[in-house]
Amino acid sequence: MQTVSGSDQSIAASNYSLFQGGFDASWELDIFGANHRAAEAATYNLQATQEELKATLLTLIGDVAKYYVQARGYQARAALARQTAGAYRDTAALARRKFEAGTTSGVDVAKAEGQTSSSEADVASLDASYSEAVHRLGVLLGEGPEALIQRLSAKAAIPVPPRSPQAGVPADILEARPDVRQAERKLAEATAKIGKAEAALYPSISLTGNISTNGLQIGDLAKSSSISFSIGPSLNLPLFNGGQLRAEVEVTQAQRDQYFIALRATVLTALEDVENALVSLAQDRKRLDRLGASTRSYTDAYELSRSLYVAGGQSFLDVLDAERSLHSARDSLLQTQVSAATAYISLSKALGGGWNRPVDSSRPEVVDTQMGPHLRTRY
């Protein structure tokens, strides 16, 4: 057996720690305005969001006013229906007395009682509509559905619209409406994005630099340590993705055209809203004048027919017909008052009126207190 002997060589290895620190920075030269147009787009987007908030507040205020008017209208119509039911009840009692005296037939009594029941059914329907309007009004104000039941239980008149606001020239209308301003800001944002996309077609130059230091001890990083640094420009040439970048420009241009069409549609809708509200308010005011005269005439006819019926010179059918006509005229008058007030609210909204005070959005609605990082103790 042959044995080979040699010298054993041992290599001593030692463990050590190496500390390293440093920082780097990069500055891009905005030669073709890409970053500037991106900042413009972000600014326009913020402004559009603010106008959207104003438009939402305007819609909210209009809805609150509309449902309040509707609630008062249902309340007044229900009171009229109760009053009419009482009048029908008195007429039925009069017909019953004449029937017992043998001067009329039982048909008159049945017709009067039927009219009474029909009017009482209208009361129930109007009370339900009133409750729904009040419930909706409470929700719009951020409260529970029944929060305003007690507050609105006291009767109040239907709001009477004041003199119509001046519509002004179309340019004033477009400047006052937040939805038009929002659409214009979105168009401006889309236009700025085109500039950003076009700037990406050209070369970009950046200045980059870094500095680092190494040491065996933390204290050595600032004194006896090795320091290295580098600084220099970098050039980015879009040579192989030019087709993709041109396609992105075309996409932004198409989006710009889309927002332009949306702006034009918003402007036309704004002008249409103003014209429709003006016509509705003017026609409702004309109807109020005519219905007022009609109500006065039907009141005289009802009182005269009732007096003639008591004296035996008028048929009971004429009394019921006059009573129905009077109730219908009064109810139509109340509905037209609601319609006129609603038309005035629509006109104010169409003209951009409503919330004109600054909105404090610095306080969040929801504050999370347990969303930070936590040390996990269980695995």
The mean pLDDT of the chain is: 82
Residues 139, 64 contacting (CB under 8 angstroms): no
Which of 25-34, 67-76, 95-104, 164-173 comes out lowest in average pLDDT? 164-173
In the chain, the domains with their CATH numbers are 32-210+242-350 (1.20.1600.10)
Phi and psi based region of residue 354 (left: phi greater than 0; alpha: psi -120 to 50; beta: remaining): left
pLDDT at 188 over 90: yes
pTM: 0.78
**pLDDT over 90 (residue 258):** yes
Q: Which amino acid is present at 350? A: A
Q: Is the pLDDT of residue 7 over 50?
A: no
Q: What is the DSSP letter of 166?
A: P
pLDDT band at 165 (very low <50, low <70, confident <90, very high): low
Q: How confident is the model at residue 313 (pLDDT cuts 50, 70, 90)?
A: low
Q: Can you give the pLDDT at residue 6?
A: 44
| Residue found under tokens 């220099």 | 232
Share of the chain above pLDDT 70, in %: 83
- Residue 32 pLDDT: 82
pLDDT of residue 179: 92
Q: How many CB atoms lie within 10 A of CB 362?
A: 5
Q: What was the pLDDT predicted at 185?
A: 95
Residue 139: closest CA among 60, 70, 78: 60
Task: With beta carbons less than 8 A apart as the criterion, state whether 67 and 126 touch.
Answer: no
Calculate helix-pair angle for 316-350, 34-100, nearest 10 degrees: 170
Query: Which H/E stretch holds residue 138?
Result: helix 106-140
